[in-house]
Each structure stands twice: as structure tokens, then as C-alpha cells.
Amino acid sequence: MKRSSSNSGTSSSTVTPESVGLSGYPVQIVSVGDEHSFQLEEQNLRAILNKNGVKNKPVVIVSVAGAFRKGKSFLLNFFIRYLNYVMQSENHSDYGWLDDESMALGGFSWRGGAERETTGILMWSEPFLMRTEGGEEVAVLLLDTQGAFDNKSTVKECATIFALSTMLSSIQVYNLHSNIQENDLQHLQLFTEYGKLATSDVSDVKPFQSLLFLVRDWSYPYDYEYGIEGGNQLLGTFLELSPTQHEELQLLREHIRSCFETIDCYLMPHPGLGVATNPRFDGRLSDVEVLFKEHLAQLVPQLLNQENLIIKEISGNKVTAQGLVEYFKVYMEIFKGDTLPEPKSLVRATAEANNLVALTTAKSLYTSKMESTCGGDKPYLNTEQLKEAHKIFKQQSVEAFHSVKKIGGAEFSSSYLEELEHAIDEAWENYSSANDAKSILRTMRTPITLFSCFVI
């Protein structure tokens, strides 16, 4: 698996993940080419998601997106510190993860520097295996997105990265500087349309899950307090509908709400001049303002502790690490062009991946049941019995396919159903002839049977 090639900025005291005792590292999973084209680094992605113990786990995907040099990677590195701490501490306690004030901050490359940042999406190489409150084991994946607003063409880049990361995450942190602006909402515009189209098929399911507006360097705590309560009050005023608003603005606000299951806002205080301006700052907490640290201690567990982990769902189905690759592939394909895709094609791509994942899961249900009944290491089974087992497993597999909620409707999924039935029938032919072969072998290997044949 290739590491991300971006370095840690221009500061002389480069913090590498190893130097602060981290075993993971950032991996480029979506890269941006010369012509602002997007490329999925499929091998890198598979290397993370197909790890044993990870690939069948439902995923919780936390992404931080927004303009560059606004402290996104810096914050993500506290997510890494928190998750490592919680995974290692026996009682899964939230406390103590910020105790070491002299530890440099490593993980995703932060501090930007003067060089133009690499753009694209990075994933932390080590999924964090955690248990949700309900006891389900999940893999928590962290996404760092990098977009630069340095010239006109990158506006599309930013919108695309933002769109992709929102579609692929279960918790999207929209990192903003100083306040929420109207154009920040406009980045959400694509989703509002998408939401309308996607929800018409799978009613009662909102297309996206959790969105957190995270306002950095909030400087009006007397108007709205730091933290989530103040943030939600501010957000309320922003998403409020008023009869004097232009109809377009009203619609935008209504649709944003209809796209996400939860929308919150958190107001973060300024971390202090040491963080913002000192070129030798290495992330140690002793150089960070107390108020900022207090809010880190609130914000991070609010997003990531057991009770708050949100499993990624697409059209109401939990996504596993393995399944996630399919979604990445189809979304990347449609974001490749020169313009942002039409919401219609986004919905179609989701429908395709959705059906494909349902097909693969249903098919592997059939094969795993058949394997444990008549696999290579199993003895010969009476033909009638085997046929009966096949019929039952086929039916269960088809039911499993139907039980997955799908967008695109029954008509769209009918060709996938046909493909499933065809694949099962083909597999059945193989199982059936392998079983027959066992019978012949058995007969040949057992002289008594041979002999008894002659007697009869």
C-alpha cells in the first residue's frame, strides 16, 4: 500500500506518524490528475478495506471537508489520538486521552506550508475496530480531504471532493472558518437535488446521515456560546425559513434538512496564536489554549464515542468495508467528467452499486451454504437431498436479495435478480457435477461396494 506522498509542510520539525508512536499512515485513495481529473487508487483502497477482520465489518466513515489550511488534518489527528486511546484503554474510558501535553501531533500531514497542497482524499491506513453501544463490531475509517481554493478550476475540484466525501461518509464534518456563509450552503446544493430524487424510491430513508458544521475560530461567544448548543442556535437562524426569503433560498434550506438525518453545528474557540502562527509548533497541547483543549475534550467523544458511532448506510442498508469499494468505484466514475454530475446520474450510480452489493452478498450466502453442505471436503450427498438443499438455499439467497432496500425500484433491480439466479444456477451445475464425481470416486475406491454391485 502506497503512502500519501504529501509531506508535513515546510516546518523544520517534521512529525511523522512513527515518531509519535502511530502504526498507521495516510494513504491516498482519490488523487487529482493534471487536468483536474479524479482517479480512484483502487489498490490502496482495497489494501485497507479487504484486511482480514475488517472486510466483513460494517463501517463508520468520518470525513472532514472544507477549504484548505483551516485545521482539518490537525483536528483529524486528534480523532486518531482519541480512537487509539479508547481502543487501548481497558475500560473504554473517554478520559485521559489528552493528558500527555508534551506529545507532538502526528497522523495526517498538517501545517500546509507555502506549497500547494496535494488534493484528493486520503484514508488512514488502519481501520479502528470498535464496538457500538449495541455491541456490534465496526471498523471506523477516517477520511482527510484536501481541496485548494487557489484558482478558478479548483472550485470544481473542491465541490467534487466535498460531494464525494459526503456521499461516502456517515459523519461529515464540514470545517468552516469563522462563520457559516451562504456559499457554504451552496456546496450542499447538489445534495438537495439528489436527496429529492433518491428519497422518492426508498421512502422514510434520508440519503445522508450526519452533517456537522464545525466553525473554527468562532469569535462571538457572547452571541452564541462555544459548543454544540450555541452552534445549533446559530445554525437554526441560518436554516430558518422566513416568508421574506427568496423562494430559492427557502427551497435550499428545506432540502438540506431533508437530505441529512441529523445536522448540527459546533462552535470552536481559537486555539491560540502558538497554533495559528508559530512555525515551530509541533502540535503539543502545552502550546494550545485551555479553552480549545476543553472543547476538543467535548467535541471528539461527541462524534466518536461508542454511543455516537454511526454506521454507514446507503438507502437504508449497512455498508461493509468490502461493499464500500463498489460505491467508491461507481461514484468516482461519474465524477470523472468535466462538470459536476447531474443528481440523476448520482442516483443511478447509487442504484447500480446498491444492487451490485445486494447481488454479491446474496450470491455469497448461497455459496457459503452450499460449501458447508457439499464443498470439496464434504462427503457425497444423495442427489435428491442435494437438490432439495440447493432449492432452499437459492430461495434464501433470492430472499436476501429482495430484503435489501434499493433505490431504482423493482424494474431497475430485475436485471440484477436475473443475474443472481443465473449465477446460482451456474454454481449449482458445478456443485452437482462435483457431487456426482464424488459418488463415482467413492465407488471406485471401495472394493466392497464394487463387489456388492456384482453380487446384486
> Contact region for ligand GDP (CB under 6 A) — 62-70, 195-203, 356-364, 383-391?
62-70
| Encoded amino acid at 431, one letter | Y
Q: DSSP labels for 91-155? A: T--STTTT--TTPPP-SS-----SSPPP-EEEEESSPEEEE-TTS-EEEEEEEEEE---SSTHHH
Residues 6+ apart with CB under 8 A from 94: 86, 301, 305
**Of positions 275, 297, 381, 423, contacts ligand GDP by CB under 6 A:** 275
DSSP string, 313-359: EETTEEPBHHHHHHHHHHHHHHHSSSSPPPHHHHHHHHHHHHHHHHH
Cα dist from 68 to 75, 104, 151, 177, whole Å: 13, 21, 13, 10
Query: Please, which residue, 184 or 201, has the CB nearer to ligand GDP?
Result: 184
Q: Tell me the Cα Rg of the chain.
A: 26
Mask for 66-85, x = binds Mg ion (CB under 5 A): ------xx------------
List, in sequence order, every residue forming a beta bridge with 26; answer none if it has no partner: 124
User: How is residue 268 annotated by DSSP?
Assistant: P
Q: CB of 171 within 8 A of CB of 62?
A: yes
Give least dist CB 209 to ligand GDP, A: 22
Site size with ligand GDP, rule: CB under 6 A: 18
The residue from 73, 154, 160, 435 that contacts ligand GDP (CB under 6 A) is 73
Check binding of 276 to ligand GDP (CB under 6 A). Answer: yes
Site membership for ligand GDP, residue 363 (CB under 6 A): no
Residue 9 to residue 279: CA distance in whole angstroms: 10
Asked if residue 72 binds ligand GDP (CB under 6 A), the reply is: yes
Nearest approach, Cβ of residue 37 and Mg ion (Å): 21
Note whether 175 binds Mg ion by CB under 5 A: no
Considering only the stretches 45-53, 65-73, 135-143, 404-412, report the one whose residues sit in contact with ligand GDP under the rule CB under 6 A.
65-73
Least CB distance to ligand GDP at residue 204 (A): 36
**Contact with ligand GDP (CB under 6 A) among 120, 127, 271, 343:** 271
d(CA 197, CA 455): 73
Question: E strand or H helix at 287, and its extent?
Answer: none
Residue 171: CB minimum distance to ligand GDP, A: 17
Examine residue 74 and tell whether it contacts ligand GDP (CB under 6 A).
Answer: yes
In the complex, the smallest distance separating the C-beta of residue 280 from ligand GDP, rounded to whole angstroms, is 11
In the list ligand GDP, Mg ion, none, the entry touching 217 (Cβ below 5 to 8 angstroms by class) is: ligand GDP
Is position 69 an interface residue for ligand GDP (rule: CB under 6 A)?
yes
Q: Which is nearer to ligand GDP, 276 or 290 (CB)?
A: 276
C-alpha cell recorded at residue 201: 424510491
- Taking the C-alpha atoms of residue 26 and residue 33, their distance in angstroms, rounded to an integer, is 19
Which DSSP letter does residue 30 get? E
Closer residue to ligand GDP, CB minimum distance, 14 or 432: 14
Contact set with ligand GDP (CB under 6 A): 68-74, 110-112, 216-217, 268, 270-271, 275-276, 281
Contact set with Mg ion (CB under 5 A): 72-73
